[in-house]
Structure 1
Amino acid sequence: MKVLQQCIYFPPEVGGLESHAWYLCRELVRMGDEVTMVTSLSQAGLPREEVVEGVRVLRRWMPARTPAGWIAHTSVTFPAFLRHARHADVMHAQTFASAPPGMLAKRLYGRPLVLTLHTSHFLRLAAQPRWQPILRRIIRAADWLLAASTEIRDVALGLYPHPRAEALTNGVDTTMFAPGPPALAPSAARRVIVPRRLFEKNGVEYLVRALPLVRERMDVEAILVGDGPERAKLEALADSLGVRDAITFLGARPNTELPGLLASAEVAVFPSLMEATSVAALEAMSCGLPVAASRVGGLPEIVDETVGTLFEPANPRDLAERLVALLERDDLEERGRRARERVVANWSVRRLAERHREIYRTLVDERQR
């Protein structure tokens, strides 16, 4: 099949959506499909067109990493998208903001359109009355609606009762993200890792606020992998709470470094305030780490007490109590093994790609009848 994808961000950008889009495109190519991705020219020096492991990538101008910038970017992708849509078998918009070119191509050429709703940004907009008619129109235009969590699916169905809607959790490269040697030297302290971009919605502030409570019970250090606008605020907060010496800010790291960093910790912590299904949490589990996560969004769909623990969001005391209890358990390694087994069984990129191909083939066959 010829599959035309569109996603605002794509590697070398780092993030859950970016990883999902890349894994899916790469696996589809490995399974014999022809895949083209239309995305943004999000970093200086990136080529406008290239082929990466068989995936043809077309990058177009984006003025800013803001909603206005996303709209401007999508508007300039119409010519490239429509040119390739004429020859595609199926189109797939990764996020609602990427859908308009596919909506027009569907009207012009009759190609089926798949839409995936990924992020908590959709949940925020879906709660605003002025955005609801726009989102309803986008959802209605899709021939098949996918959502990264049951919460997102249910919110979307509340806007429009789509007859073909399903929750399809993002996948993980379980070969790359696997138990292996640590990248960091051993520490005398218990070490946890927080592979999160430093945005308010990711709730890293509450991990910082929980650390003084954890340190009353045990010696612990936190490795923060990711960057973002909250960094200066978090560093100042750590100073004010007297835990700056217990936190290492590593900044953003490429995906290739993450398995070794994850292997350097005992537990991965995800203190999110909003979440779809966290690819980062699945990657940590795939590396054999137990996960401590807030009880929001899609996180309870992948994490439970057999592979980690859940705590109340925005609650440093509950986070601290649950994290200490998890670190004190004598079956920590067994929970990590179960975490990896769960990801391999349910959320590998191969299983993800196979389900997408089933959906694509159904739509293509229906069109050809």
Structure 2
Amino acid sequence: MTVAVVTPWYPEPDRPWEGTFIANPCHALRKLGVRMRVFKLTGRPPAVRVNEIDPDTGRAIAPSGILIRSSRHLASVINSGWLWSESCDVVLVEEVWTSILLRKARTPPQVVVLHGRQPMTTSGARTDPIRRSIIAASLRRASALIAVGAGILEDLPPDLRQVCTVVPNGVLLDAFPRRAVSASERVRAADFPRLVTVGNVDSNKNQETVLRAFASIRDTWPTASWSVVGDGPERRRLEGLRDQLGHHDRIRFTGRAAPAQVAAILNRSDLFVMPSRIESFGCAYLEAMAVGVPTIVPRSAGLAALIDDDRYLHDPDNGAEIVAKANAILSSPTQYEQAVAFGLALAERWTWQAHAESLADVLRKSVAVREAVPTP
């Protein structure tokens, strides 16, 4: 089976390929014998550049690419065979606006992957019925839809829910290996406990709730510290609030970090907390779990649907509940070790390879349906 992947995931041509939400499933699909051709969309409509990417190197095969002016122009490029001259069996379309851009093209069956929590209300469609109808029509052209988290289904019309399969994102265990340190070692450590967050510093990731609750954490754990890994529009304001609240020596904003750096930070952490208000899935939580870091997850995250133990769930805007859940886990080696074991089991189940196996099944079914339709 040959799959053409069309993805908008990169804002610029030289953005690193490894560790992205596209590279991981592509690598995993290739291990299953699926042949991949990856086409990256750079920019936003109406001017979009298309580059074919070598999945081995993550680099553009032809750096100049093709400049696309409209969905009709892209349809002309595809229909004339300029984009891919050899046949492919199915097109894996990443995200809603890519589906819209491809809506006029004659392609093999399309399977659309929905990453955003609100696919039908994206880009102003909540108040724009015309835009909403275009999104719905584009998605209805697909032979199947994939949602990376169960909560995404809530935003879809009933008919689209019927053709949508939830295939949770995963974790790359090789990139986030389990650490060797024991719970008893960490609980006795002089720098215990070390909290960590990995994500964009913005209002959705909601680091402010943890920041305002940090004094309560320090009441119980005077040596507590918190590393905020990431960057974003709220960073400067939250750094100011940190200083105002007197935590400048205990809370560190590190900026963005590569996956290997993130894994190293997680390796010396005791609790992962990120109270996101909207989270389609939540790979960052799963990565922390894979390393062996006790993790609490907001009930708003897609990953929460896979967690059946309320000890590890919380309301994203309830600082008191976050503190209570943190204290319960950190209070003894037994509670700490139970949280580690729970997270490790979850991470071992929901890997990118497991994601790829489920995704490949959907792709093959779409190809089979097409082949079963008689040629006129």
**Alignment-derived partner of residue 128 in structure 1:** 126
- TM-fit CA distance, 1:22: 1.2
**Within the alignment, does 1:150 sit opposite 2:150 as a pair?**
yes
Deviation string for 1:190-236 (max 9, x for gaps)? 10110111121111111111111211221211111111111101101
Q: Is the 8 A contact 2:272 2:293 kept in 1?
A: yes
Largest Rg, 1 or 2 = 2
Deviations 1:57-95 (A, max 9, x none): 568899xxxxxxxx9898986677662286221001111
Relative to the length of structure 2, the TM-score reads: 0.82
Which residue of 2 is the match for residue 140 of structure 1?
140
1:99–1:138 CA contact under 8 A, matched in 2: yes
Q: What is the aligned partner in structure 2 of residue 67 from structure 1?
A: none
Is the contact between residue 74 and residue 101 of structure 1 (CA under 8 Å) also seen in structure 2?
yes
Report deviation, 1:299: 3.5
Q: CA deviation at 1:6?
A: 1.8
Residue 319 of structure 2 is aligned to residue 322 of structure 1: no
Q: Does the CA contact (< 8 Å) of 1:267 and 1:289 recur in 2?
A: yes
AA of the residue aligned to 2:314? F
Q: How many angstroms does 1:275 deviate by?
A: 0.9
**RMSD (Å), alpha carbons:** 3.3
Residue 285 of structure 1 is matched in structure 2 by 289
Q: 2:347 and 2:58 mapped to 1: Cα distance? A: 25
TM-score of the superposition, structure 1-length normalised?
0.83
- How far apart, CA to CA, are the structure 1 residues paired with 2:251 and 2:209? 13
Shift of 1:326: 2.1
Aligned with 2:296: secondary structure?
strand
Tell me the equivalent position of 1:261. Answer: 265
Aligned partners of 1:252 and 1:84: how far apart in 2? 36
Equivalent residue runs for 1:139-288 within 5 Å:
139-158=139-158, 160-180=159-179, 188-219=191-222, 220-288=224-292
Can you give the 5+ residue segments of structure 2 that lack an aligned partner in the other structure? 44-49
Aligned to 2:300: 296
Secondary structure of 2:338's counterpart equals: helix
- Residues 38, 58 of structure 1: 8 Å contact kept: no
In the alignment of these two chains, the number of paired residues is: 348
Give the 3-state SS of the residue equivalent to 1:331 in structure 2. helix
Quick one: distance in 2 between partners of 1:76 and 1:227?
36
Kindly indicate whether the alpha-carbon contact (under 8 Å) linking 2:288 and 2:295 is maintained by their aligned counterparts in 1.
Answer: yes
Q: Label 1:283 to 1:15 Cα distance change in 2 as closer, same or farther (>3 A).
A: farther
Residue identity (%): 22
What is the Cα deviation at residue 368 of structure 1? 1.7
Q: Which moved more, 1:240-249 or 1:324-333?
A: 324-333
1: CA distance, partners of 2:234 / 2:42 = 25
Is contact 1:14–1:255 with CA below 8 Å preserved after alignment? no
Give the direction of change, closer, same or farther, for the CA distance of 1:353–1:208 in structure 2 (3 Å limit).
same
Q: For residue 153 of structure 1, report the CA deviation from its aligned partner.
A: 1.5
Aligned to 1:332: 336
User: Is the CA contact 2:2–2:88 (under 8 Å) kept in the aligned structure 1?
Assistant: yes
Residue pair 2:176, 2:263 contacting (<8 A) in 1 also: yes
Q: Is the 8 A contact 2:292 2:341 kept in 1?
A: yes
Distance in 2 between the 1:209 and 1:223 partners? 15
